[in-house]
Amino acid sequence: MKLARDTWLVFGRYFWIFIHNPAWVVIGVVQPLLYLLLFAPLLKQIQSAPGFPRGGAYNVFVPGLLVQLGLFGAAGVGFSLIAELRMGVIERLRVTPVSRVALLLGRALRDVFSILVQSLILILLALPFGLSVNAIGVVVVLLLIALIGLLTASVAYAVALWTRSENSYAPIVFTATLPILLLSGVLLPLSLAPQWLRNIAAANPLSYAVDAARAVFLAHLGDPSVVKGVAIMAVLCVISIFIGARAFGRAVA
């Protein structure tokens, strides 16, 4: 199938570029480690606060961290695309018969790949600190993170193709991601939040993803919020891939 072949080729290209830049690989591993070492210890003190979910600080915190990794890990991917626009790479690829969906999907899946590797490292590193998960839970959470990453990367690439400049791309992406992140209960559970904040968060799709990830890590795999979170992310993912592929088809550089 042409789409699968083209996606695999494009994935291969960006994977090759990625592993030939050791700095990115190192940053990818060090970042989750820093979160665990420098931020998680703070949680020890507040886990007894009223409203804080039961199940251990790390089982509450790590799911949020993973969602954040999915979002932030993919939000910045447009920068490399803008550099490629300038070098004429995108134009050169668009003039070949390669599938436009593959141009998006191949590179977005490469981004998802590194997010998943980072997520796995983070989960493994958190185990000795007291995180408790089972294998199925890890698989479900990784699926969720993959969807978040794919969704975010597709939107990020579309924004990069529309703006075509770092100076426009950066403010849009960073202005958008911060409130989305804060309103999702990533850092601290929204169960601690006042009602008005919870109401706003209910309109934020990412908060359902965080709820789902926490439900998995607090060992309620059958919790309806898990299916809900995965389903919402999956639907948004399909929409964003459609938008992103369209942007590749129409790109004017």
Partner 1 sequence: MAVGVGTAAIETHGLRRVFKTRKQVVEAVAGVDLTVQNAEIFGFLGPNGAGKTTTLRMLATLLPPSGGTATVAGFNLLTQPGRVREVIGYVSQAGGSDYEVVGRFELVFQGRLYGMSLAAAQKRAAELIEMLELEVCADRPVKTYSGGQKRRLDIGLGLVHNPQLLFLDEPTTGLDPQSRARVWDEVRRMHDRGTTVFLTTHYLDEADALCDRIAIIDYGKIVAEGTPEDLKRAVAGDVVTLSVAGSPQAAIEVLQAQPYVREASVEEGMVRLYVDRGEVAMPAILRQLDASGLQLLTIGLHRPSLDDVFLRKTGRSLREVAA
Q: List residues near partner 1 by CB under 8 A.
A: 6, 9, 12-13, 16-17, 20-21, 84, 86-89, 91-98, 250, 252
Least distance between partner 1 and beta carbon 208 (Å): 38
Please give the full DSSP string across 215-250, using - where no structure is assigned: HHHTT-TT-HHHHHHHHHHHHHHHHHHHHHHHHHHH
Closer to partner 1 at the Cβ: 47 or 168? 168
The 3-state DSSP class for residue 247 equals: helix
Least distance between partner 1 and beta carbon 12 (Å): 8
Closer to partner 1 at the Cβ: 87 or 231? 87
Closer to partner 1 at the Cβ: 49 or 95? 95
Least distance between partner 1 and beta carbon 174 (Å): 24
Locate 222 and state its tokens. 């059958």
Least distance between partner 1 and beta carbon 98 (Å): 5
Q: CB-based contacts of 209: which residues, under 8 Å, 6+ apart?
A: 67, 70, 144, 147, 148, 184, 229, 232, 233
Closer to partner 1 at the Cβ: 99 or 152? 99
- Return the beta strands (E) in 47-130 as ranges: none
Least distance between partner 1 and beta carbon 110 (Å): 14
Q: How far apart are CA 99 and CA 202, in angstroms?
A: 37
Closer to partner 1 at the Cβ: 36 or 98? 98
CB 181 within 8 A of CB 68: yes
**Which residue, 244, 252, 253, is CA-closest to 99?**
244
Q: How far apart are CA 54 and CA 44, in angstroms?
A: 12
Q: How far apart are CA 23 and CA 114, in angstroms?
A: 13
Closer to partner 1 at the Cβ: 44 or 86? 86
Least distance between partner 1 and beta carbon 81 (Å): 11
Placement of tokens 């995108």 in the chain: 90
Helix-, strand-, coil-residue percentages of the chain, each rounded to 5 = 80, 0, 20
Closer to partner 1 at the Cβ: 43 or 89? 89
Least distance between partner 1 and beta carbon 158 (Å): 18
